[in-house]
């Protein structure tokens, strides 16, 4: 067992029954010309999470933990994209339209791929998801159950959208979730801060919050 210094209180967990899940560290969210930029965001704000994610991946791999990388995106024919999601957006370019990194948020396109800094290693789980949460229409629950996973270290983007949606559902499904505060990021710094506060408020209503230094030192 290891103990992680966290809010609202230290958490003891077993690395053998824990997984690191890195959410949507894709070019479409972090690089200019993708989905995030199409929605009018300053994509450079997400880059602060890259180095903490690299540090987490390094220690999780050394500890032999299950590592999962998720990607948000849709089939090329858009048959898995709800019309309400397709209709949203301010600008003229939408999901499925051609951008500088290929068709926006479409599986197999350059923009849908992981950023090179955080590319999965062979054998790590790559989980394609059509929505914000990592459980919705994916086999994540099966993968975690088959590996006996009970605790999740959660990193990636964005804090208040795909990270929060995943953590809320994981919490309801009985997983202990640790959101790694500097390994998650948002286009909106105030949303990031409040989203983290919401996780650990009320005695840890959704889970725990710890920084990557605390998590890495507990794991090494």
Considering only 56-64, 86-94, 157-165, 169-177, which stretch makes contact with ligand C5J by CB under 6 A? 157-165
Answer yes or no: 24 catalytic.
yes
Distance CA 30, CA 147 (A): 31
Write out the two tokens for 91: 């600008």
157 is an interface residue for ligand C5J by CB under 6 A: yes
Distance CA 216, CA 154 (A): 13
Answer yes or no: 162 catalytic.
yes
Considering only 43-51, 91-99, 153-161, 210-218, which stretch makes contact with ligand C5J by CB under 6 A? 153-161
User: C-alpha angle 185/201/189, rounded to 5°?
Assistant: 25
28 is an interface residue for ligand C5J by CB under 6 A: no
Give the residue among 73, 79, 65, 149 at the shortest CA–CA distance from 109.
73
Which residues face 157 on adjacent strands?
185
Number of residues that bind ligand C5J (CB under 6 A): 8
Q: Enter the DSSP assignment of 115.
A: P
How crowded is residue 111: how many other Cβ atoms within 10 Å of its Cβ? Answer: 25
User: C-alpha angle 140/159/27, rounded to 5°?
Assistant: 75
Of these, 4, 18, 22, 24, which contacts ligand C5J (CB under 6 A)?
A: 24
At closest approach, how far in Å is the CB of 23 from ligand C5J?
6
195 is an interface residue for ligand C5J by CB under 6 A: no
Catalytic residue selected from 162, 177, 182, 216: 162
Answer yes or no: 53 catalytic.
no
Catalytic residue selected from 28, 129, 182, 216: 129
158 is an interface residue for ligand C5J by CB under 6 A: yes
Of these, 38, 104, 161, 219, which contacts ligand C5J (CB under 6 A)?
A: 161
Residue with tokens 């995943």: 166
Write out the two tokens for 132: 């914000």
72 is an interface residue for ligand C5J by CB under 6 A: yes
Instruction: Point out which residues bind ligand C5J (CB under 6 A).
Output: 24, 29, 72, 132, 157-158, 161-162
Catalytic residue IDs: 24, 129, 162
């Amino acid at each position: 067992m290891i103990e992680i210094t966290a809010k609202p209180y230290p958490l003891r967990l077993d690395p053998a029954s824990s997984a690191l899940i890195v959410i949507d560290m894709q070019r479409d969210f972090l690089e200019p010309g993708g989905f995030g930029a199409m929605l009018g965001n300053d994509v450079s704000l997400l880059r602060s999470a890259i180095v903490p994610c690299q540090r987490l991946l390094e220690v999780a791999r050394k500890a032999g933990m299950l590592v999962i990388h998720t990607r948000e995106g849709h089939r090329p024919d858009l048959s898995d994209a709800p019309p309400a999601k397709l209709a949203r957006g301010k600008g003229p370019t939408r999901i499925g339209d051609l951008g500088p990194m290929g068709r926006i948020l479409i599986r197999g396109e350059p923009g849908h791929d992981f950023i090179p800094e955080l590319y999965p290693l062979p054998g790590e789980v790559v989980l394609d998801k059509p929505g914000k949460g990592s459980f919705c229409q994916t086999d994540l629950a099966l993968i975690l159950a088959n590996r006996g996973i009970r605790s999740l270290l959660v990193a990636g983007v964005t804090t208040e959208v795909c990270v929060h949606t995943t953590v809320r559902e994981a919490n309801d499904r009985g997983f202990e979730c640790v959101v790694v505060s500097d390994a998650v990021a948002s286009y909106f710094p105030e949303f990031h801060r409040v989203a983290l506060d919401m996780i650990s408020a009320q005695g840890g209503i959704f889970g725990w919050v710890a920084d990557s230094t605390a998590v890495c030192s507990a794991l090494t």
